[in-house]
Amino acid sequence: MEVIICPSYDEMSVRAAQEVAVVLNTKPNAVLGLATGSTPLALYKELVRLHKDEGLDFSQVTTFNLDEYVCLNPTHEQSYHYFMQEHLFQHINIPPESIHIPSGTTRNHVAFCDWYENRIKECGGIDIQILGIGSDGHIAFNEPGSSLGSRTRIKTLAKVTIDDNARFFKKAEDVPIYAITMGVGTILEARKLLLVANGDGKAGAVAQAIEGPVTSMITASALQLHPDSVIYIDEAASASLKMCDYYRWIQDNKPGAPKPE
């Protein structure tokens, strides 16, 4: 697990976007796993800039989003369908048929979740999965107690997540309490995991995920089990880590690190 501490949110986002661009430039038909939330906004802005200014091509890319609220239809402003259109898809050259987001309106959750899992496999598996982290340590909507082997399913959101997300809705009561989410087991099958986190509100969860035990109580700690995971954080989100000097030393001295003149 690589931990990269960046001086600012903007630098964190640009460097994380470069990780995605490297995958897409190496494999133009890559399968990209996407996340929503406030954290990846600048990462998506940078991907859009790379597309517009530097020709980053999405024409052969397939995407899978991590999750969607149950009961919000795609035109609802707080649905993740809407978020993705707004912040990424309408600005890049991805064919609409290559986009996958869990359905918030399916009546048959079990069948839908099975189909989603199978569709990821049919497309060859996810090459790089972007992740945020909740203040309760969740990845996607895998709330504390979610099995580290869990698959795509309907999940009841934790109270803390509902409270965290209430800022996007008119009233706290409007936040849906169910979501369809990829499971931790589904996420761990991606070839590379890229987690981004910023701000002091995430410092505790980040420290538990990176330096705490692997536990279903902090589902982001499952990244410790993955052979190729990279975590980009800003200074504020690094505040509770004990080994910051070590992570910086590794970044400065790893093979291929730029040497000072």
Structure tokens belonging to residue 12? 């964190």
Structure tokens at 125: 């598996």
Determine the Cα–Cα distance for residues 139 and 226; give it in Å rounded to an integer: 14
**102, 151 Cβ separation under 8 angstroms:** no
Least Å distance, CB 12 to ligand PGA, is 12
Question: Does residue 134 bind ligand PGA (CB under 6 A)?
Answer: yes
Residue 159 is a binding residue for ligand PGA (CB under 6 A): no
218 binds ligand PGA (CB under 6 A): no
Of 24, 133, 157, 233, the one binding ligand PGA by CB under 6 A = 133
Binding span for ligand PGA by CB under 6 A among 52-60, 75-83, 132-140, 185-193: 132-140
137 touches ligand PGA by CB under 6 A: no
What single-letter amino acid sits at 191? R
Classify strands 128-131 and 229-234 as parallel, antiparallel or unpaired. unpaired
Size of the site for ligand PGA (CB under 6 A): 6
In angstroms, the Cα distances linking 47 to 19, 32, 34, 257 are 10, 12, 12, 24
Residue closer to ligand PGA by CB (options 39, 238) is: 39
CB of 28 to ligand PGA, least distance (A): 28
Q: Are strands 178-181 and 153-156 parallel, antiparallel or unpaired?
A: antiparallel
Give min distance, CB of 97 to ligand PGA, in A.
27
Q: Which of 33, 37, 104, 176 binds ligand PGA (CB under 6 A)?
A: 37
Name the active-site residue from 68, 117, 136, 164: 136
138 is catalytic: yes
Contacts of 38 (CB under 8 A, 6+ apart): none
Instruction: Say whether residue 183 binds ligand PGA (CB under 6 A).
Output: no
Interaction between residue 200 and ligand PGA (CB under 6 A): no
- 38 makes contact with ligand PGA (CB under 6 A): yes
143 is an active site residue: yes
Q: How far is the CB of 132 from ligand PGA (least distance, A)?
A: 3
Angle at the Cα of 111 from the Cα atoms of 105 and 113, rounded to 5 degrees: 75
Minimum CB distance to ligand PGA smaller for 88 or for 98: 88
Phi-psi region of 55 (alpha: psi -120 to 50; beta: other; left: phi over 0): left
Catalytic residue check, 67:
yes
76 is catalytic: no
Output helix, strand, coil percentages for the chain, rounded to the nearest 5.
Answer: 40, 20, 40
- Signed CA dihedral, 247, 249, 254, 258: sign only: positive
- Rank residues 11 and 57 by Cβ distance to ligand PGA and give the closer one: 11
> Least distance to ligand PGA from the beta carbon of 11, Å?
17
Distance separating alpha carbons of residues 207 and 191, to the nearest angstrom: 23
Q: How far apart are CA 115 and CA 77, in angstroms?
A: 26
| Residue 33 touching ligand PGA (CB under 6 A) | no
Q: What does the binding site for ligand PGA look like in residue numbers (CB under 6 A)?
A: 37-39, 132-134
